[in-house]
Structure 1
Amino acid sequence: MPDDAPQLPTLSEDDVAALTCWVRATGLGDAVTDVTPLTGGTQNVVVRVHVDGRPMVLRRPPVHPRPTSDKTMQREIAVLRTLAGSDVPHPAFIAGCEDLGVLGVVFYLMAEVDGFNPGNEVSEAYSRDAAMRHAVGLSYAASLAKLGNAAWEGSELAAIRRPGSFVARQVPQFLRLLESYRHDGYAPESFLAVAPLADWLTSHLPADGAPGIMHGDAHLNNVLLRRDRPELAAFIDWEMCTVGDPLLDLGWMLICWPLPPNPIDAGSALGALGGIASRRELLEAYREAGGRVTPDLNWYLAMACFKLAIVIEGTWSRFLAGQATSEAGERLHASAQNLIDLGSRVVHGDNPFDLD
């Protein structure tokens, strides 16, 4: 997700030396060279390295890790290992390190994916051809359906699945997150319309379906697209991955699609060119690829609005505490309020996402 805390996305000389010792000890190679920062998410450090000339991507927590950063890396390692050999587009896992004596944090290496991020770049082929821009959205939706159907039981990812009802714990979980933002300058109750939407979501819970793998943050800033053909190359940035209800990923994808109303800046470079698939076409492609069907789609749309709004509202709280810029705080607070308003419209029968 967009955030206000820029990280230094590289490795120090000491890190490179420690990494070199580690790759030698694990038999991956002898030399680590050409360390290059990569653009992408601001929550973690992502760099390209070459091990004996072979390009790889190293992903590790931010320079100043959060208390949960190592667990997040372990979660990402688990999902990439679980998806190995599946038809879900993902970076191939190479090796992971949970020994904090190497870099001081958990980290892993994955294969480099040849693709571009449509949040900030568009390849020449897509710029020229509206048909490619249209078709790639259908590929993206179909790939999300494959993710929700991917095998996970008996894998290491199964260990992160929490018992009980996934849908029933969503509203309490994110109300607790909102409450955690409280400080002298920020009162969660000032975030208007959250409580009524939370009440509606709680009183209209859908039945739990079969659990599946969720990306957790499914939007176009978290994918790579093939440069020369309209296909999803990989889902990336797996830090919010879990085993839960894949229909929430569907709702998340639909609300974040870069067509009006566009509550966050995701996939803006692609969307600005026009010609992309409609939300109804995404939904049809998702279902044709074996994605789940539900009579409660509006609940998942509204829940996605509710959850995403609370996640990004944290930047407004940090701004009010002097820990974020006014630009980031004000921009994301406006987006958060817009998301709550959109979710409220969905539940009151005025669906702004043109899916009724």
Structure 2
Amino acid sequence: MTEATEVFERKAGKIDATALGHWLDTHHAPGHGELPVLELLTGGSQNTLYLVQRGQHRMVLRMPGPRADTARLDGLLREIRLVRGLKGTDVPHAELVAADDSGAVLGKPFYVMAEIDGWSPMGGGWQAPFDTDLGARRDLAFELVTGAALLGRVDWRAQGLEGFGRPDGFHERQVDRWLNFLAAYQVRELPGLDVAADWLRRNRPIHYTPGIMHGDYQFANVMFAHGSPADLAAIVDWEMTTIGDPLLDLGWCLLGYDGEEPSSDGFYLDMSGMPSRSELLEHYEKISGLSTENIDYYLVLANFKLGIVLEKTYAASVTHPGKVDAEVAQAMGAMIPGLITTAADLARSLPDRG
């Protein structure tokens, strides 16, 4: 057991490995009869992650942290429902092994999923060979878009996800929902916010095809298989997933693009060598069957929404100094106005259908 695991267990209470092992056996999990060995993993900001080893078999357990409130518990139950719905689909994800909705086994709801052998760009940037081979790196963007397209085309009703979200009136709710979210913690003016909001209200799509929408779909929330060619191993972090407009996930894929090409300063990764926007749109349409002709609306909304979501972390660093890593807060503090300005500038440059 690692020192980090011991520290966590002193604060949160030790997981009963024997009870977990019996429960895994009843759900026919790999490693039947083996006592699980648990190791606390890093990287779970909203929930706690454990590596679960039973003999040669490795899985990952995800559960709310020790101070989780009712909203966090409800959020995990939504995740459980989602990963059940994704089981058997062609969406790259960590497939569900088993889940306990009741909390009876370990005191809180949790689920166990397959371990993904892969890497994230957030773990130090592009992994070799993508750090130097721009041709190989280019395919990472196509893989990212492939994941969004596969997710958006899932027959969510057939997968038991009826009622998982409220697709009716999705776009009518977006602007006011996120402005109300911002109002709860706003600590500074964000120039261009009203310009983007007004344009979005006037130019929202009249018709759209509802689908599963990740809600935070970007390089930060996917994992790739090691080595080349590029291969999307899993989409991760489903906290913001709902039934909405999957084209918004495509908009998030294109954050950091300055028109047809990625901007020279990137977004949070070096985007040199990436495909053009048109190439990615064509790729998405081919897989999803959805039209991207109104992509500019989704780009405005993506920049608007991400700026507001990130502002919550920045605001916490202002109102509760020390709660947020100072370096992270400084980086976000500089990035967020740029996102809102990009949304406003793009809105000003587009035809107004209102």
- TM-score interval w.r.t. the shorter chain? 0.7 to 0.9
C-alpha displacement at 1:66, in angstroms?
A: 4.1
Change (3 A) 1:66 1:307: farther
C-alpha displacement at 1:75, in angstroms?
A: 1.8
Aligned to 1:143: 147
Aligned residues of 2:191 and 2:341 also touching (Cα < 8 A): no
- Return the alpha-carbon distance in structure 1 between the equivalents of residues 184 and 310 of structure 2: 13
Change (3 A) 1:123 1:65: same
What aligned pairs does 1:62-141 form with structure 2 within 5 A after superposition? 62-121=65-124, 122-127=126-131, 129-141=133-145
- Return the alpha-carbon distance in structure 2 between the equivalents of residues 37 and 127 of structure 1: 29
TM-score (norm 2): 0.85
Aligned to 2:317: 319
Aligned to 2:304: 306
Which deviations, in whole Å up to 9, do the C-alpha atoms of 1:196-241 show, x marking residues without a partner?
2111111111123121011111111111111133111111111111
Secondary structure of the structure 2 residue equivalent to 1:249: helix
Secondary structure of the structure 2 residue equivalent to 1:200: helix
Structure 1 letter corresponding to 2:109: V
Q: How many correspondences in the alignment?
A: 335
C-alpha displacement at 1:246, in angstroms?
A: 0.5
Match status 1:49 vs 2:52: yes
Listed as ranges, the gaps of 5+ residues in structure 2 are none
C-alpha displacement at 1:116, in angstroms?
A: 0.9
Aligned to 1:239: 239
Aligned to 1:285: 283
Structure 1 stretch 211-220 or stretch 52-61: which is displaced more?
52-61
Structure 1 letter corresponding to 2:9: S
Aligned residues of 1:48 and 1:56 also touching (Cα < 8 A): yes
- Return the alpha-carbon distance in structure 2 between the equivalents of residues 244 and 8 of structure 1: 38
Aligned to 1:252: 252
What aligned pairs does 1:78-227 form with structure 2 within 5 A after superposition? 78-121=81-124, 122-127=126-131, 129-162=133-166, 164-182=168-186, 186=187, 190-227=189-226
C-alpha displacement at 1:50, in angstroms?
A: 0.7
Which deviations, in whole Å up to 9, do the C-alpha atoms of 1:89-109 show, x marking residues without a partner?
111101112233444432111
Aligned to 1:337: 337
Secondary structure of the structure 2 residue equivalent to 1:35: strand
Which deviations, in whole Å up to 9, do the C-alpha atoms of 1:30-64 show, x marking residues without a partner?
44444333343422222211134310011122342
- Return the alpha-carbon distance in structure 2 between the equivalents of residues 9 and 174 of structure 1: 39
Structure 2 letter corresponding to 1:112: E
Ranked by relative contact order (alpha carbons within 8 Å, sequence separation 6 or more), the top structure is 1
- Return the alpha-carbon distance in structure 1 between the equivalents of residues 276 and 173 of structure 2: 31
C-alpha displacement at 1:349, in angstroms?
A: 1.4
Aligned to 2:9: 12
Secondary structure of the structure 1 residue equivalent to 2:161: helix
Change (3 A) 1:47 1:10: farther
- Return the alpha-carbon distance in structure 1 between the equivalents of residues 130 and 284 of structure 2: 22
Equivalent position to 2:40, from 37, 40, 62: 37
Structure 1 stretch 26-35 or stretch 249-258: which is displaced more?
26-35
Structure 1 stretch 331-340 or stretch 285-294: which is displaced more?
285-294
Structure 2 letter corresponding to 1:74: L
- Return the alpha-carbon distance in structure 1 between the equivalents of residues 62 and 129 of structure 2: 29
Change (3 A) 1:173 1:263: farther
- Return the alpha-carbon distance in structure 1 between the equivalents of residues 250 and 46 of structure 2: 23
Change (3 A) 1:342 1:218: same
